[in-house]
Amino acid sequence: MGKVLDHLQHIKPELGPATRPEKNRHWRLARDENDIAWLVLDRHDSSANTLSESVLKELDERLDLIDNEKPKALVIRSAKSSAFVAGADITEFRGLADGGKVEEQLNLGHAIFDRIEKFSFPTITVVHGYALGGGFELALATDYRVAIEGASFGFPEVRLGLHPGLGGTFRLTELIDPVEAMTMMLTGSNAHTKKAKKLGIADLVVEERHLKNAINAIVDGKIAKQEPGLKSSAFILSPARSFAARQMRAKTAERASQDHYPAPYALIDLWEEHHGDREKMQRGEIKSFAKLLTSQTAQNLIRVFFLREKLKNIGDGEHGISHVHVIGAGAMGGEIAAWCAVRGFRVSLGDVKNAPIGEALKEAKALCNDQHLSGTETRDALDRLIPDPQGHGIAQADLVIEAVPEKPELKREIYKAIEPRMKATAILATNTSSLELPELATALKNPARFAGVHFFNPVSKMQLVEIVYHDKTEKNVLERLNAFTGSISRLPAPVKSYPGFLVNRALMPYLMEALMLLDEGHEKVVIDRTAEQFGMPMGPIELADQVGLDICLHVAESLKGNLEKPMPEIPDWLRKKVEKGELGRKTGQGFYKWSDGKVQKEDVPDLAKAPDDMLDRLILPMLDACVECLRKGIVEDTDVIDGAMIFATGFAPFRGGPMNYARDRGVDEIRNKISELRNKHGPRFEPDRGWSGLNGKDS
């Protein structure tokens, strides 16, 4: 896009002390030759613009100057090359428990945005990149929104257990079709450039070089101001709102329960009760937001936000990788290759057969569409993905990723064949999900440059990648792989080689205990619903089908006998299902039937049939395995555990991760409960000795 503010070079700063360049100022104010004021946000203390208390207070000061010497128009935009505004400063949300204090801060922000809305001259927001949360609400307070090509608008607050809190609940539902507005807020979905224009969020969509002409056209009255449409007016009537609200609640309930995620239900209640009455809607929004923000759900989800930031920070740094070669074009290898190409890397993809490579190229094109790439971007990504059945790319690659079936002998044969062909500085990484690296490294002359990059399926949607190291892995190799993972928009979790690493080590007892419950005669829908009520995105039986029963069996067998305490027994009927080809989602039949990739569940679970200890039998072995990994130094700290389990398995985010849940419930209580399960069900429930040192341990 070039420099964001190239067209402002001729603008002279306002006179007055508040507009002179000062250290630690966030806003710059200037006027151009047409007497248009430009208010530009450039947070001095952050690479991204967010709305902190200090940013809002300084904005209020700048509005004083603008109000005193009224310009012909006011334009608000960002000086950051990446985007407009990412939303509120989440660091100020942590640990808040005083709802009254939160309401005071919200009232300040509302007063400032109301002030912008009431200016007698035209106000315009220019958005490039994203305008999220409070940034979107700032844009809604102005008369016009001009989107630079590629811009997007959204309210991600629902992911933090919140809804918009600076006027978004009423300004967006007044501006566009209220159902579309509510859908954006309830789902956290973004409206990209074309959709934003179609919905009426963006008044104009222009390229950066045409921005000045667009601003002049608005100021000259050539662009009509967006007005609420007929659909917005229709919902002024209470019966229409009530009908729509019932539908919204039903759709929301399909994704999240009110007990676990109260924010979307609070938003629906707010809109149903007060839409059309701006004053009541505004007061209700402030009170509702303050109540939600101080709840345990929101504070745990805010914790998840910072867990993500911690893992992202692990991915900072230089990787020195430009060419990736992937060996194995199956479901995992093909998507790894496609994802790396989409993220800008030159990728060669090899396989012993041509058909999987051709299928991977088709899937890569579909992935480009899913990622909203333009035609040019799609062409460039596909040009970077090179079919390479002969493996010529191995010699040029900075990173070789092996993604062949989980057969140690096969992997070692490949390593012996390719190691002499690789560059001396290249890294060899395996995508194995459970095989221990020291065993695989025996085939290598230089195991120091060998590590694991364990992607989860599907690669394009699962955010976590386990970066697996062994005793001989060079520190520089680990650092480069962490940075590479960050560069492809994934979250690295460094883990030491261990049976199942972290995620599968913790997940398999959960899945295997579910099979034990099945073996005892409990219904699969009851088992799944019990886990879902706890907050898991799907139950363990459905998850086993998703992963693939053959994969589950392989991982279970690789763990069995390699751990300090016994795993649940592998039922013979599981092996028979695998032998018959009933592998789950990928074959259309597993524990459930699957159609077009969707599970078919006809039975309604009767949770009264679940024994009292069913939930603990499922969840507590997972926590116990996490404690074992912490004690053995497989992971660095409890934050990495919580982040990995949330972003790889979907462990109930509103609980803040398994270790956070253990602390909330009580470490001693959980250890005692595991001991009770041992007494009742056997030694597989023996509590790990790491529990005794967990109380008070800093995460």
Closest C-alpha among 616, 461, 650 to residue 543: 650
Structure tokens at 306: 């910072």
569 tagged catalytic: no
Q: 274, 319, 454, 554: which is the annotated catalytic residue?
A: 454
- Integer Cα distance of 583 and 494 in angstroms: 30
- Integer Cα distance of 55 and 690 in angstroms: 45
Tell me if 667 sits within 8 A of 627, measured CB to CB.
Answer: no
Q: 433, 482, 558, 660: which is the annotated catalytic residue?
A: 433
Q: 504, 532, 554, 558: which is the annotated catalytic residue?
A: 504
Strands, DSSP E only, in 99-245? 123-127, 130-132, 144-148, 152-154, 190-192, 204-206
CA 177 and chain centroid, separation:
27
HSE on the CB side for 269, CA within 13 Å? Answer: 12
450 beta partners = 428
Give all strands of the β-sheet with 190-192 in edge-to-edge order: 130-132, 152-154, 190-192
Structure tokens at 554: 């392989």
Q: How far is CA 649 from CA 103, 178, 247, 314, 406, in A?
A: 36, 34, 29, 20, 21
107 tagged catalytic: no
Structure tokens at 420: 């002499």
Contacts 24+ apart (CB under 8 A), 598-601: 599/542, 599/545, 601/525
DSSP one-letter string for 245-270: HHHHHHHHHHH--TTT-HHHHHHHHH
Structure tokens at 178: 């209220």
Residue 122: is it exposed, middle or buried by C-beta count within 10 angstroms (0-12/13-18/19+)? buried
Q: 14, 157, 335, 466: which is the annotated catalytic residue?
A: 466
- Integer Cα distance of 28 and 48 in angstroms: 16
Instruction: Provide CB contacts within 8 A for 46, sequence distance 6+.
Output: none
487 tagged catalytic: no
433 tagged catalytic: yes
3-state DSSP call for residue 573?
helix
Active-site residues, by number, are 433, 454, 466, 504
